[in-house]
Amino acid sequence: MKAYQIKIELVNSKPLIWRRIVMPANATFFRLHTIIQDTIGFYEEFSMDNKIYEFDLPEEKIRVTNDDNAYKMHKMYEKDTVYKKHKDKNNVLKDIIDIKIRKPQTLKIEKYIEKHKRLTYVYDFKCYWEHKIILEDIIEDYKNKYPMLIDGEQDGPIEDIGGLDQYYEFKETYDNTSHPEHEKAKALAQKQDYYGYDFAHINHVLKMRKYGK
């Protein structure tokens, strides 16, 4: 089976939070999203709201996102020829329509990751977790039907924490058992089933998931 070796980097994290995975090449952008979630350590089910995420493909003028409102608006503007003809004197609408909105479940990664070698993925626009997705190798004889984590470093962030600065504050408190707020941080971690960078656990989760698409 054809597969990709991919490196995932959380932008601006210091020291760098990163993962190296091998995954089947026939995956959709939705599957890539779930793999990033599982390997970095995000848990949408513990979040306080539904998170928007996107893969930006500027060279293709494509935005792959679970943002249903953006998708519906794009479709509406595409069909509204009267609006386009009379109310788009400054080409504002044209700029919007030129960026195609695609749903992650409907688009496969193969064409785009092989062509561009790098992708940008943003999860949760309130915290703005930006990731670089880097294609390192193409494997033609991958034996597994599921992705595998093969390397990485540093614990990933916790949901709804606010951003990297807030995460580092949480991590310092969580790691320091003498900190006056340690028990509070520990309770938050337990509530979200936070386990940090656990190589064996991550691979167990990846193997149990159904990655048919």
| Domain shared by 95 and 108, yes or no | no
| Domain shared by 54 and 112, yes or no | yes
Report yes or no on 129 lying in a domain. Answer: yes
Statement: residue 156 has pLDDT above 80: yes
* Dist. CA 67–CA 71, nearest whole Å: 6
- The pTM score is 0.89
Report yes or no on 89 lying in a domain. Answer: yes
Q: Which amino acid is at 39?
A: T
| Domain shared by 73 and 147, yes or no | no
Report yes or no on 79 lying in a domain. Answer: yes
* Dist. CA 160–CA 46, nearest whole Å: 9
| Domain shared by 141 and 80, yes or no | no
* Dist. CA 205–CA 123, nearest whole Å: 20
Question: What are the pLDDT digits (tens) for 56-70?
Answer: 999 999 999 999 888
Helix or strand or coil: residue 93? helix
* Dist. CA 84–CA 82, nearest whole Å: 5
* Among the listed residues 41, 35, 21, 16, the one whose alpha carbon sits nearest the alpha carbon of residue 135: 21
| Domain shared by 37 and 7, yes or no | yes
Q: Can you give the residue range of the structural domain that contains 46? A: 3-66+103-156+197-208
* Dist. CA 129–CA 186, nearest whole Å: 22
Of the listed ranges 36-50, 79-93, 143-157, the least confidently predicted one is 79-93
CB atoms within 10 A of CB 38: 21
Report yes or no on 161 lying in a domain. Answer: no
Report yes or no on 213 lying in a domain. Answer: no
| Domain shared by 73 and 60, yes or no | no
Report yes or no on 82 lying in a domain. Answer: yes
| Domain shared by 109 and 57, yes or no | yes
Report yes or no on 190 lying in a domain. Answer: no
Q: Which residues pair with 10 in a beta bridge?
A: 131
Q: Give the pLDDT band (50/70/90) at residue 196.
A: confident
Across the range 187-194, mean pLDDT stands at 88
Say which residue the tokens 């159904």 belong to. Answer: 210
Could you give phi then psi for residue 111, rounded to 5 degrees? -60, -40
* Dist. CA 99–CA 140, nearest whole Å: 33
| Domain shared by 42 and 114, yes or no | yes
Structure tokens at 212: 């048919």
Query: What is the chain's length?
Result: 213
* pLDDT for the residue 80: 64
Computed over every residue of the chain, the mean pLDDT equals 89
How many domains does the chain divide into? Answer: 2
Of the listed ranges 9-23, 37-51, 154-168, the least confidently predicted one is 37-51
| Domain shared by 127 and 107, yes or no | yes
